[in-house]
Amino acid sequence: MMINRVFVYIFIGMGLFISTATASEISLHGFLQGNYSVDTAYSNPNGGDFKRAEERLQLKLDASKDPFHIFVKTDALYDHVDNKARLELREGYFDFRSSAWDVRLGRQIITWGVGDLVFINDVFPKDFEAFFSGRPLEYLKKGVDGAKIGIYPAFASFDIIAIPFFTPNHYPGPQRFWMFDPMPDVTDRETTEPSKTPGNTELAIRAYRDVAGFDTSLYLYRGFYRQPSAMPNDTAMPSKLFLSYPKLSVYGASFQGRALDGILSLEMGYYDFRQDRSGSDPFIPNSQTRTILGYQRQMWDDFSVSIQFYTQYMHNYSEYVENLPEGFTQEKRLYSLASLRLTQLLAHQTLKLSFFSFWSPSDGDYIINPEARYNFTDHVWGAIGANIFGGPNKSTQFGQFDKNDNVYVQVRYEF
């Protein structure tokens, strides 16, 4: 087990390290959290009424003695939906820093790009079930197991990330979520992750600096798409599905800065699916150009509005259409998605009312996520919110979740 091995290395390293650090350089923090999400329209496919019901303890251990630093964040939880106790290593890494460069080794969360819940050059693993079932935002991001090197010459900064161990995205599962399955009768399914060979090590590079007042980044990624593609053993009479993660390279850029009395963001990326450059393989996505245009503005005291428009353009569309087997759902050439976020802080910023919504002009589906969060004290906060899904078509991203509307509660004591 990878997790166990990482745990062991981290704890051995930690032990050696702590023995040389003084008490003031070590800190232990964390939280106790309850997180519950109840169905409001339909019970789960497996009959339950909770998308999530869990109590969780997180411990964050931080030890530093310049130029070294160790950080471990682990969660222990009891999941009432599956009736299981679990231990999760959320992050566990070792840092070394010098003035011109630094390195971070181990499990780490990496967030790139300028999108708000839409991602182009942030190719790192995500947990979308967390987002759809009312978990705190931080659980949308999963750590990667790898090494990050930062290099900081005067003319620009560079992040270079090597990920030898592949982590897929986590999507809602058919036990807790009603969702679209193009081949519900084919239950024999085999998922293959990229083999752990040196040649399959993922590489991600970001170069960034200020250009005319705009935070400007260039991105390169070579690795795998974290959403699996399904290939049937026989397109006419399928009896088995093979799921695998297509080879992907991404070339992109982002810009963010002050403009039009607010913050303007632009991000672009070319998704090069290397196994299907001609577009003729219907079971591997065609190459795409993805774009986000975003704008954020503070309208009055403690009230901000942000809007985004995302597009995903499929290249070699005619080849895709020509080769799509009969009976398969045909994707559009241009997918579009708009988002709106409204945030109002009240009561000395202890009460946060927020509204977030995605709506796809091309698919007509949506998700609406209103939330109220209140800090009862400096240590205790609670949030209540809802996820409401809908759309005319049961095969689209949010339309398929139409029967999964839920109301959620999060309560956390932090120490």
Partner 1 sequence: MRWIIIVLSLMVFPVTGFAQSGDEVIKKSQDAFFYPGKDFKARVMMKLIGKGGQERIRELTMLRKNYGEAGGEQKIFMYFFQPTDVKDMTFMVYKYPARDDDRWLFVPAINMVRRIAAQDKSSSFAGSDFTYEDVSGRDIQDDAHAVTKEEAFNNRDCYVIKSTPKAGDMNYDYKLSWIDKGNYLPLKEEYYNKKGELDRLYTSDEIKEVKGFPTITKRTMKNHQSGHTTEVKYLSVDYNIDIDDSLFSERYLRQPLKKWTE
- List 97, 277, 332, 394, residue binding partner 1 (CB under 8 A): 97
Q: How far apart are CA 248 and CA 229, in angstroms?
A: 12
How many residues at the interface with partner 1, by CB under 8 A? 49
Does 22 bind partner 1 (CB under 8 A)? Our answer is no
- List 150, 238, 370, 390, residue binding partner 1 (CB under 8 A): 150
Question: Which of helix, strand or coil describes residue 231?
Answer: strand
Nearer to partner 1, 124 or 132 (CB): 124
- List 79, 88, 102, 272, residue binding partner 1 (CB under 8 A): 102
The distance of closest approach from Cβ of residue 140 to partner 1 in the complex, given in angstroms and rounded to an integer, is 7
- List 7, 45, 64, 169, residue binding partner 1 (CB under 8 A): 64
- List 47, 153, 198, 213, residue binding partner 1 (CB under 8 A): 213
The answer to whether 78 and 85 are in contact (CB under 8 A) is: yes
Q: How far apart are CA 226 and CA 140, in angstroms?
A: 14
Nearest to 226 by CA among 253, 247, 242, 205: 247
Q: How far apart are CA 303 and CA 80, in angstroms?
A: 37
Does 208 bind partner 1 (CB under 8 A)? Our answer is yes
- List 300, 318, 326, 327, residue binding partner 1 (CB under 8 A): 300
The distance of closest approach from Cβ of residue 152 to partner 1 in the complex, given in angstroms and rounded to an integer, is 6
Nearer to partner 1, 61 or 81 (CB): 61
Contact window for partner 1 (CB under 8 A) among 11-19, 197-205, 261-269, 333-341: 261-269
Which residues, including other chains, have CB under 8 Å from residue 374's CB and lie 6 or more apart?
347, 350, 351, 352, 381, 382, 383
- List 15, 22, 66, 318, residue binding partner 1 (CB under 8 A): 66
Does 195 bind partner 1 (CB under 8 A)? Our answer is no
Question: Which of helix, strand or coil describes residue 161?
Answer: strand
Per-residue binding letters, 363-392, with partner 1 (x by CB under 8 A): ------------x-xxx-x-----------
The distance of closest approach from Cβ of residue 301 to partner 1 in the complex, given in angstroms and rounded to an integer, is 5
The pair of structure tokens assigned to 67 is 């130029």
Does 189 bind partner 1 (CB under 8 A)? Our answer is no
Does 349 bind partner 1 (CB under 8 A)? Our answer is yes
Q: How far apart are CA 129 and CA 79, in angstroms?
A: 14
- List 235, 291, 296, 357, residue binding partner 1 (CB under 8 A): 296
Q: How far is CA 20 from the centre of its chain?
A: 36
Does 98 bind partner 1 (CB under 8 A)? Our answer is no
Q: How far apart are CA 134 and CA 50, in angstroms?
A: 11
Nearer to partner 1, 81 or 268 (CB): 268
Contact window for partner 1 (CB under 8 A) among 33-41, 254-262, 268-276, 332-340: 254-262
Strand order in the sheet with 229-232: 189-192, 241-244, 229-232
Nearest to 169 by CA among 132, 207, 129, 223: 129
- List 258, 280, 322, 334, residue binding partner 1 (CB under 8 A): 258
Nearer to partner 1, 314 or 383 (CB): 383
Question: Which of helix, strand or coil describes residue 11?
Answer: helix
Does 350 bind partner 1 (CB under 8 A)? Our answer is yes
Q: How far apart are CA 343 and CA 118, in angstroms?
A: 18
Secondary structure, 3-state, 320-388: HHHHCCCCCCCCCCEEEEEEEEEEEEECCCCEEEEEEEEECCCCCCEEEEEEEEEECCCCEEEEEEEEE
Q: Which residues bind partner 1 (CB under 8 A)?
A: 25, 29, 31, 64, 66, 69, 95, 97, 102, 108-111, 137-138, 140-141, 150, 152, 157, 208, 213, 215, 256-258, 261-263, 265, 296-298, 300-302, 304, 345, 348-350, 375, 377-379, 381, 412, 414-415
